[in-house]
Structure 1
């Protein structure tokens, strides 16, 4: 009987040390947000884009994966008001010159590797798909109890968005739009 108890206790201890089951935490798409900043020679524009869905995966309380789908039709310009060119710029960003949202209504980010960097900070390498192109991006993600934040730059020309790029058009002068735009992401789950 004593051996049976010892074996049972050993089994419970062994099972508890086996890696924890992965836990998916869906993001709250109404409170999570993506802010963007695009710069040009003569200034910059800012706005938001909405999440369609997303999930972060944790194992043993540590981030191990995730994926997000972004609703590109939700591109919103926040630094201009109606009548100041807001609608025109939003229309242009949705047009084929930029994101082509009629053909490509969503973009996708899928985590490929996650490495702990420091307490609550992870270095993530992910595949970012914009339009028909998928390229890797790397960024640091800070995870708190019910939220995660990051900020990183994306080179739009890698996704076949070359409108106004000096890298492709030499003679555009002060109408040039910088190749990189910044995404600031605040995810709530």
Structure 2
């Protein structure tokens, strides 16, 4: 009877582990920032700020929080109808929390903490920036690479996207992916940086999903 019970518990643990792995977004490949080679584009597409968005999600043992960040400006460049480059400014002061009602005191406290020196320090670093360094097909998926400058660090990240072009417009939608915030010196509550946090830590991974719409200029 004990053997059967242990077997059931063991199988259940494996099942939970497999499901958790499937549900977890993959971390973007992260390397040192790359030099961007200036190439004259054949066409430029200006990002439609109202129709574009970045969704974020952060995790801790007690649960998670999610919200959005606005793109301040952006352009995609193309050669032979394919994305060849692009730059984007992200307004870090626009961080919104969606899982707590806006009128709730907790919403303002969380936004204030995220924009403080503990996290993104928007007084010193009001913008983040992303500069495209490549787009190529790998094993049937389009992989977008670019230098992400966030807070006081810059790294190159690569993540899967879907790109659609029609009627002088481009839509680019990423799969949900994660970045390790500590690689951009966002260290608050990280158990990989600080000892003795117990269950008061905050996961290093930040989950992101990007949706861009751009029209030919």
TM-score normalised to structure 1 length: 0.84
Deviation at 1:171, TM superposition (A): 1.1
- Counterpart position of 2:124: 103
Deviation at 1:117, TM superposition (A): 3.8
**Which of residues 46, 50, 68 in structure 2 aligns to 1:30?**
50
Q: Does 1:174 align with 2:206?
A: no
Q: Does 1:128 align with 2:148?
A: yes
Q: Within 5 Å, which residues of 2 pair with 1:1-189? A: 22-81=42-101, 82-117=103-138, 121-145=141-165, 146-150=170-174, 151-189=176-214
Separation in 2, partners of 1:170, 1:21? 49
Unaligned segments of structure 1, at least 5 residues: 1-19
Separation in 1, partners of 2:138, 2:164? 14
Separation in 2, partners of 1:102, 1:160? 16
More divergent stretch after superposition (95-104 vs 167-176): 167-176
Larger Rg, first or second structure (1 or 2): 1
- Choose between structure 1 and 2 for higher RCO, CA contacts under 8 A separated by at least 6 residues: 2
Separation in 1, partners of 2:190, 2:200? 9
Aligned with 1:102: secondary structure? coil
RMSD: 1.7
Separation in 1, partners of 2:64, 2:105? 14
Cα offsets for 1:26-84 (capped at 9, x unmatched): 11011101000001111100000000011111111112222211000000000001225
Deviation at 1:118, TM superposition (A): 7.3
Separation in 1, partners of 2:41, 2:85? 13
Contact 2:72–2:90 (8 Å) recurs in 1? yes
Deviation at 1:180, TM superposition (A): 0.9
Q: Stretches of 4+ moved more than 2 A in 1?
A: 116-119
